[in-house]
A and B are shown apart, each in its own frame.
Chain A
Amino acid sequence: MALSGDNPLMGEEENANETAPERRYELRLYVAGQTLRSVEAFSNLKKICEEYLKGRHSIDVVDLMENPKLARGDQILAIPTLIRKLPEPIRKIIGNLADTECVLTGLDLRPRKS
């Protein structure tokens, strides 16, 4: 499948930017087939990571159409769902990740608005 094909692993580039201390981000994106929303979510995620997490993240894309069993483990209901496996605690961000500010808040890259 195309999405997992160009699944990039950009963890080696040590390029800390102005936010947060040196923490590795381990992200997993759940999709179900190549829907428009999934493709959008992936490109949005990639963009955000490039910008804010350059060099200290890994993205793992899981297609539930191929591995339906995996949905149970992470309690996936909504598609697409982005899971921040690391750093703890686990966080779930659903939707096509179009709202960058929201995603950054979810990843704790921005202080939460009260």
Chain B
Amino acid sequence: MSSSKKSTPVKQLEKVPTGIGGFDEITGGGVPKGRPTLICGGPGSGKTLFGMEFLVRGAREFNEPGVFMSFEEKDTDLVENFSSLGFDIDDLVARDKMALDYVHIERSEILETGEFDLEGLFVRLGFAIDSIGAKRVVLDTIEALFSGFPNEGILRAEIRRLFRWLKDRSMTAVITCEQGNGTLTRHGLEEYVSDCVILLDHRMIEQVATRRLRIVKYRGTTHGTNEYPFLIDEGGLYVLPITSIGLAHKALTERISSGVPRLDTMLGGEGYFRGSSILITGTAGTGKTSLAAHFANSVCSHGEKCLYLAFEESESQMVRNMRSVGVDLQPLLDNGLLHCHAMRPTLFGLEMHLVGMNKLVRDFKPSVVIMDPVSNMISVGSAAEVKSALMRFVDSLKMEGITALFTCLIFGQHQDLTDMGVSSLMDTWLTVRDIESGGERNRGLYVIKSRGMAHSNQVREFMLSSDGVRLVDVYVGPGGVLTGAARLARESKDRQEEKERAEEIGRKQRGFDIRKLSVEAQVAGMMADLSAQEKELEKIAKEEANRKARADRELAELARQRHAD
């Protein structure tokens, strides 16, 4: 062992991708090439699956044939068990991509009578490797040998020799080990595998099972030291990489409509930023889901994909309910743009949800993800856990440029406080608040924050009708902020007052008009009188002129008759 330790180079090890979702990312490329990797874990932690997937994916995706040497399960059982995961092992065996060897050890049949070695195992393994030209080897679970052979000293020496032998043959090996009590492996095999040790854990926290993976040791390489949650589903193993994600996502400037035109106006006129995270908080029944459904509807009607993670309602229930506010989601579900995934949060642990959601995102490739409501997650984890899980989810979505909308139910008076303190993770935070007055309950919508855009500071009344969500200006006036019927009453009263004022002005105007007319009439009368007098005067003057002329003429006539000279 010491000699192999010395020979280990300090430089980065050459790695072989396992093909296991997420695992290659957290290890920076996979398991060390041509070296044994130890997988420890308790019963049912997924060790065999890890090994098998390593081989199957190696054979399928990287053209590296592999040998699976099982010390526990019969080869026929293995084939059967893994066919449910879509691993057609029979086919791989038939194509010489894989060899299965079941090593059966029956303690009662074996009697030790002196010195021995495990050359038989070496021969079998060597034969299997040579028959298909294997590059990968899985030994599952080699510790079964300890129950079969009483002489531990020989066994240890032989296992050590086996690991060295595998290394000499440049086999990339995965060796599974049962986890011991307080130790990584029951028989201390981690001593012999110095390069890479991975621990699989299957833990129960408050009756909820969570699977976790931890890289205990990985010589000559950097790796995350956290526990990574992983999932086993119909596609095999999937590890969620968490620490590889930094705050390095690109901020997109493109906008995406919220589905409510008036809300878009409140958000700087164009809606949310693409790739941002949006939180809608509100007490029960304030229309958070309706807002989310409008968004989904708007996204899908633009031909983009939307993933709707529903934690409260089933798909059909949601479709029915949203129809009542004028959003028909059924056609969107039918044409595949909307994918609704309804599940109870208590179905499994938080981490499993996270992994599951990541996998859904990876498979469906939506441009928008909606989680409704995220507050239900609190039932499967503490506030801090939920926050950290959500943070990772939000980050991973941001990395992909996926817009995420979360709704969150809040209680009581502290309407600005979310249960989990998730609001700081969000770029845009809308809150729908009950405004109770005059014996009725109305909804007010606020934009509490919206990073990177000029957003409205106004409260809008949020109305749900069969035509959809409508945002109306609230009444702001001397009577305070009013909504609903009170707003309508106040508005109508205001209108009445306005009308009365208008009528008053009208009346005064008319009075003035009349007065003006009468004054004008008087003026006209006097003017007429004046002009009549003027005419009279003219007439007199004219008659006088005439009389004078006549008198002159008569005088002249008289003079002529007198023959004056």
Contact = CB atoms under 8 A, between A and B. Distances in A.
The number of chain B residues touching the other chain, given as a range, is: 20 to 34
B117 to A, nearest CB: 6
A72 B100 CA distance: 11
Residue of A37, A78, A99 with most partner-chain B CB within 10 A: A78
B163 to A, nearest CB: 16
A52 to B, nearest CB: 14
Contacts of B122: 32
A9 interface: no
B111 A78 contact: no
A105 B106 CA distance: 18
Contacts of B113: 93-99, 102-103, 106
Interface string A67-78: 011011001111
Contacts of B105: 75, 77
A80 B116 contact: yes
Interface in A86-114: 90-99, 102-103, 105-106
B109 A92 contact: yes
B contacts with A: majority SS: mixed
Nearest to B126: A68
A79 interface: yes
B123 A95 contact: no
Interface in A21-64: 30, 32-33, 35, 37, 41, 64
A92 B110 contact: yes
Contacts of B145: 77
Residue of A72, A90, A105 with most partner-chain B CB within 10 A: A72
B120 A78 contact: yes
The number of chain A residues touching the other chain, given as a range, is: 20 to 34
Nearest to B124: A71
A30 B145 CA distance: 19
B121 A77 contact: yes
B123 A32 contact: yes
B116 A94 contact: yes
A37 B104 contact: no
Contacts of B148: 77
Given A91-B109, A95-B114, A98-B115, A69 B120 contact: no
11 contacts: A64-B120, A72-B101, A77-B118, A77-B148, A78-B121, A79-B120, A81-B120, A92-B109, A94-B111, A99-B114, A102-B114
Interface of A: 30, 32-33, 35, 37, 41, 64-65, 68-69, 71-72, 75-81, 90-99, 102-103, 105-106
Interface of B: 101, 103-106, 109-124, 126-127, 145, 148-149
Given A92-B109, A93-B110, 15 more contacts: A37-B115, A41-B114, A68-B124, A75-B106, A76-B124, A77-B120, A78-B121, A78-B149, A79-B116, A79-B120, A79-B123, A94-B149, A96-B114, A102-B111, A106-B111
